[in-house]
Structure 1
């Protein structure tokens, strides 16, 4: 690494964004990324719940334990260097590593851990449910998470969970540790620094947030004091480029080092002498869902027919080639307990018969919300074409990622084309999203696709989902999740279609980029750029 790193980075970061496209080559020690980032609603770890915000949080913050860039399959020490588990007493005692500091220069203390975890629960924003699964409430969290002697923190949980489940929860995004002193110095009207953290950062991770402009850009600066070793590059600039064609042009001109959202056709047409493509299996499943608040969509025959009106293979063999594979269950292939059966194929005659036998009054006109970017718009047009002959007519409503997600959370859509990734590495994460909804009331908001589609899940399925969470026998637990996947696959208003495979095009100068199975596993700290 050059001794001129701080000066070079300061000069690059001082450039107006509009000047960056004319750089014949990107700066030597700065990674420049073209990416659609308009899905970001929030970047405070206590609120961030979108794919791109997850990438940002992972690179800026640390957790007690975390899946690291060096090996995303291993739950490794983070800010905690060791821990002791008392399964019977339902406690885990963590010992923090010595010398870890926040970007402000403040030391990472047990008090910061206590503040960070309790803050998520007390703010009770979208991802708080991940931590409150442990029995934490605003009233009891100060007793459940406590600072101990020396550099220790004790975590208590209520519920019959395996310690492995608890550890995975503590490795999830909302368990990120923030600098309590810096955050509370920026508190406004009792918001515990939420407004400030949605424009700034207070982490200890390999990068600090230098600048964030929504739907425009993100600038990260390397943390040379990072406990796991300083990043190999000085910084990262993520430019919001919504159009995949523009991303391709910028990459081919050398104005960016990575393009994150190219189509399959664009990938196939790249000059491989100067550029390379890496494919990363992803945990995200893509689905079509019907809002049960709309009476014309509540007949189970509509759900069943829909499963035979998706041209799965046609999409995968054309514009989704290399980007998705047919997958029809809520837990992704490649993870233990995934159901890989694909019983549904494109069969419009069968779908028409199902609708006719059920006496469904046709035609039905349904608005379909979709993110206005590749490949979602192409997928929506394919669905529009394949459903129409059966009398189900989609009116496509494109919007930015944040607009579409906001409508979904409000339950104001009719049909939705979207994707879902696990919040943490345990099948309960997706089971609760796709197979559980114990309170379907409008004022009982839940960050699940079941609630957002107003689907009152049958009581038996709700019970099985919670029983699987507490099942101690691993083989029995896996079979319960397989059964839940079969039920959702066959009898729900959610039509799961694909599992993503993510292709990233990059300059041949770039190495060390890590893109794990979820957005929380996108890492820049090992990236290097050859001269």
Structure 2
């Protein structure tokens, strides 16, 4: 096996793909080279990062007090805290920080860093801040809610939450701990280091950020001093390659080790004995949604008809085969509290009758925003064809991931084809996103699909969502979430269609790659190349 030197590889990846030589040697043994569409990234600062690819980077660059780790993504394990003690009656959790943990800068991890990190998220109040704000933290009270002395940090919370819920919140992305000394040194005009952290990193994770060029590449180096053991691989290079066909070509030529975005047809067509495919169940649900600011999409009959205009089986048998399965509820199958009934099938005649009985005039013309990458564009074309059968004409508007997501957050779309993954592993995460919106005003931004689609959720459903959050009986609580899913499934402007299954093609030499149920559970720490 021949290998390029790291310096040669580093220079080669900056060239346009079309300029690459006709034949290249395999990647160096000390570097894992990944081809992936990374143009969804808007921010990499943990206080702002809210995209799927951003989550992957944050997980590998930062730690949390408690976290789901590469060794077992289903177990909440010790992170920067070696132990903790919860007092449900006093609504506090006291964490003891582990000895010897350091940031990439060499600065020790201290209680002051934890206090600064949590306070920073709340005070900046960017997209993911709502996750920590659920604990009753505000810019005015966070200094009293998070305190520390020596190697001890005490977290207080408001609300009738179980400690398990609070720990899951503290294991989420915005709860990542940043190097307060380094971040303060790079703060500008009161931004608390936000601009700098969107180009750099200040974490204690298994990798350090060596270079980041938006929509081009990411290079991470192993943190040899990582408390949980140095990564097996010296560096990870993620190349932005939007085209799945190009990813396949690069993998087959040996220019990359992993291809992250191959289509089902490409996966099925791989015949190279040097390449293997691994499948990872995912928590993301894929949906079609209708903005309630668009008058023609506000009639519940349109929502109901739409559920019978999706060719679910047609898509899972062809264009998304192996990548998604039919799932029509907001909490993913396989997790406690999921509702797995799938009552809707493709039935255009029934859809037309629903519209006619409700007096809805057709044709209806609607713009559909979609990420310009597989499999989303193929799915959009399938929806365009099947919806036309009932007189609903979808005009496809492709854009980069960042463009589409930004438009969604601004509520300027009409219809949207997108996906949603839990912010933390508790059913309330998705219930808050799909079944709650107590203030639908334009100036009350909320990082939920209900608000982004301008859907004023019925008051009874809002109350049921919050009641489920505080229910102390575990089984009763899960039943409440199942009931919420059934109600959203029956009538809402959000048509949930599929649950993702993620396939990654890689060189046979690669082992130890971990891709858990969410983007926050993508780990390179255990990767080795034999």
1:145-184 deviations in Å (ceiling 9; x for gaps):
0112x21100000111000000000000000000000001
Query: Aligned-pair distance for 1:272?
Result: 4.5
TM superposition shift of 1:271: 2.0
CA contact (8 A) 2:61 2:206 kept: yes
Q: How far apart, CA to CA, are the structure 1 residues paired with 2:389 and 2:355?
A: 12
Corresponding position of 1:414: 414
- The C-alpha deviation readout for 1:167-202, integer Å capped at 9, x for no partner, is 000000000000000001000000000000000000
- 1:346-385 correspondence runs (5 A): 346-385=346-385
Q: What is the CA–CA distance in structure 2 between the aligned matches of 1:469 and 1:9, rounded to whole Å?
A: 50
Work out the number of aligned pairs and report it: 523
Q: Structure 1 stretch 439-448 or stretch 21-30: which is displaced more? A: 21-30
* Structure 2 equivalent of residue 236 of structure 1: 236
Offset at residue 445 of structure 1 (A): 0.3
Quote the offset at 1:15 in angstroms.
Answer: 5.6
Once the two structures are superposed, the pairs formed by residues 29-428 of structure 1 within 5 Å of their partners are 29-148=30-149, 150-428=150-428
Mapped contact 1:13–1:219 kept (Cα < 8 A) = no
Deviation at 1:14, TM superposition (A): 6.0
Once the two structures are superposed, what CA deviation does each residue of 1:284-330 show, in whole Å capped at 9, x if it has no partner? 00000000001110000000000000000000000111000000000
Report how far residue 10 of structure 1 moved: 6.4
For residues 459 and 162 of structure 1, what CA distance do their matches in structure 2 show? 24
**Structure 2 residues without counterparts, runs of 5 or longer:** none
Query: Is the contact between residue 9 and residue 234 of structure 1 (CA under 8 Å) also seen in structure 2?
Result: no
Contact 2:252 2:272 (8 Å CA) reproduced? no
Decide whether the 8 Å contact of 2:39 with 2:401 is kept in 1: yes
Hey, what's the Cα distance between the residues in 2 that align with 1:250 and 1:381?
27
Structure 1 residues 179, 11: closer, same or farther in 2, change over 3 A?
farther
**Distance in 2, Cα, partners of 1:60 & 1:17:** 23
- Match of 1:315, SS state, is helix
Deviation at residue 389 of structure 1 after TM alignment:
1.6
Runs of 4+ in 1 over 3 A off after TM superposition: 7-16, 19-23
CA contact (8 A) 1:371 1:401 kept: yes
Check conservation: 1:370, 1:377, Cα contact below 8 A. yes
**Counterparts of 2:16 and 2:445 in 1: how far apart (Å)?**
44
User: Is 2:443 the counterpart of 1:446?
Assistant: no
Shift of 1:12: 4.8
RMSD of Structure 2 on Structure 1 (CA): 1.2
Task: Tell me, yes or no, if the aligned pair for 1:9 and 1:235 is still in contact at 8 Å.
Answer: no
Match of 2:524 in 1: 524
Q: Name the CA shift for 1:222/1:210 in 2 (closer, same or farther; >3 Å).
A: same
1:18 equivalent to 2:15? Answer yes
DSSP-derived class of the 2:398 partner: strand
Supply the distance in 1 between the matched residues of 2:346 and 2:526 (Cα, whole angstroms).
43
Secondary structure of 2:15's partner?
A: helix
Gap runs ≥5 in structure 1: 1-6
Residue of structure 2 equivalent to 1:433: 433
Which secondary structure does the structure 1 equivalent of 2:74 belong to?
A: coil
